[in-house]
């Protein structure tokens, strides 16, 4: 199923009053690809993700997922089609134990349709997913109230929530922000593994060094516009990309 288009974004634009947060952005993604999205603060990365996943309605343009027009559809509909996204500010049901936070995707019509485990086994699926992401099953961590967890755990819980939906496309919005180096080091190989197993991944990230370890293709946004799309080496050697990053610290 390689070389088959999974996502197509055409002339996508979002205006907030006088601000053009996303300005006529087009790109497409093949199944199994790993695309990095980079750009300075306020360049439109989160808005682009919000547009693709239905959290924000576009001013104009079109989004096609698996040959279905999903432009402006509700977030839960897009999720049920197989697009999972994490949040820059990780959200959780704070009063629930961490593993119970995965209830919503695990009991979703999508997972039911795909033939997830029996209802009684869903807690085991949740614990397995969390264990892979550093919530050791034999420790107290997966059973603690999500609200009591440190920030880095909340970000990984958000990733586990995404994976529980058994997505075809995973979109990560600054997953590594606020994570300790050791957490990033432990999470990167898991993300690589998901991609190796065939999952298509889009990752907006400021931590370029870590991003460039896992992706061969990077798209650069600046003031809402796509200014480069290519290998990390290609895009970082472009003058307009260096100018966009002038005054900001480029890692890697
Ligand atoms: N709901 C909104 N209302 C008004 N303006 C918005 C809204 N959301 C985003 N913007 C503006 O759109 C632009 C792009 O913001 P966005 O959050 O998409 O950038 P970003 O690349 O994700 O930035 P960061 O790296 O800081 O996360 C900014 O100028 C921002 O202020
Ligand atoms: Mg953002």
What does the pLDDT look like over 134-151, one tens digit per residue? Answer: 999 999 999 999 999 999
Of 147, 143, 142, whose CA–CA distance to 94 is shortest?
Answer: 147
Residues with CB under 5 A from ligand 2 (ion): 45-46, 88
- For the Cβ of 19 lying below 6 angstroms from any atom of ligand 1, the answer is yes
Would you state the torsion angle of the CA atoms of residues 158, 164, 169, 174, taken in this order, to the nearest 10 degrees?
Answer: 10
| Residue nearest to ligand 1 atom 6, measured at CA | 16
Does the predicted model carry a pTM greater than 0.75?
yes
> Residue 91's pLDDT is what?
85
Residue minimizing CA distance to atom 2 of ligand 1: 16
Ligand 1 atom closest to the CA of 48, numbered from 1 = 18
Q: How far apart are CA 174 and CA 192, in angstroms?
A: 16
Choice between 246 and 218, residue whose per-residue pLDDT is larger? 218
Q: Which of 77, 138, 133 is nearest to 102 (CA)?
A: 133
Nearest to 183 by CA among 114, 218, 133: 133
Provide the token pair at 91. Answer: 């959200």
Q: Relative to the alpha carbon of 44, which ligand is closest? A: 1
Alpha-carbon span 249 to 71, nearest angstrom: 35
**Above 80 in pLDDT, residue 252?**
no
pLDDT digits (tens, 9 = 90+) for 174-216: 999 989 999 999 999 999 999 999 999 999 999 999 999 999 9
Please give the number of the atom of ligand 1 that sits closest to the Cα of 22: 14
Confidence category of residue 119, pLDDT binned at 50, 70, 90: low
How many angstroms separate the first and last alpha carbons of the chain? 33
- Determine the average pLDDT of the residues in 17-46: 97
Q: Are 22 and 224 in contact (CB under 8 A)?
A: yes
Q: Which atom of ligand 1 is nearest to the CA of 224?
A: 14
Q: What is the mean pLDDT of residues 64-88?
A: 97
Domains identified in the chain and CATH numbers:
5-96+167-244 (3.40.50.300)
User: What single-letter DSSP state applies at residue 69?
Assistant: E
């Amino acid at each position: 199923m390689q070389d088959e288009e999974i996502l197509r974004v055409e002339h996508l634009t979002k205006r907030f009053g006088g601000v053009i947060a996303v300005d006529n952005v087009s790109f497409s993604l093949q199944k199994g690809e790993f695309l990095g999205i980079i750009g300075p603060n306020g360049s439109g990365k989160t808005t682009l993700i919000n547009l693709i996943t239905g959290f924000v309605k576009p001013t104009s343009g079109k989004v096609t997922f698996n040959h279905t027009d999903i432009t402006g559809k509700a977030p839960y509909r897009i999720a049920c089609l197989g697009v999972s996204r994490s949040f820059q500010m990780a959200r959780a049901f704070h009063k629930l134990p961490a593993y119970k936070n995965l209830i919503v995707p695990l009991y979703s019509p999508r997972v039911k349709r795909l033939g997830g485990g029996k209802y009684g086994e869903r807690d085991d699926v949740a614990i397995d997913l969390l264990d892979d992401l550093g919530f050791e099953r034999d420790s107290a961590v997966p059973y603690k109230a999500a609200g009591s967890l440190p920030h880095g755990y909340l970000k990984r819980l958000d990733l586990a929530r995404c994976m529980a939906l058994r997505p075809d496309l995973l979109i990560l919005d600054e997953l590594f922000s606020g994570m300790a180096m050791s957490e990033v080091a432990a999470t990167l190989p898991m993300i690589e593994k998901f991609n190796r197993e065939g999952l298509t991944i889009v990752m907006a990230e400021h931590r370029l060094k870590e991003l460039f370890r896992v992706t061969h293709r990077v798209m650069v946004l600046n003031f809402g516009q796509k200014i480069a799309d290519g290998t990390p080496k290609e895009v970082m050697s472009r003058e307009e990309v260096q100018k966009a990053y002038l005054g900001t610290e480029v890692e890697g």
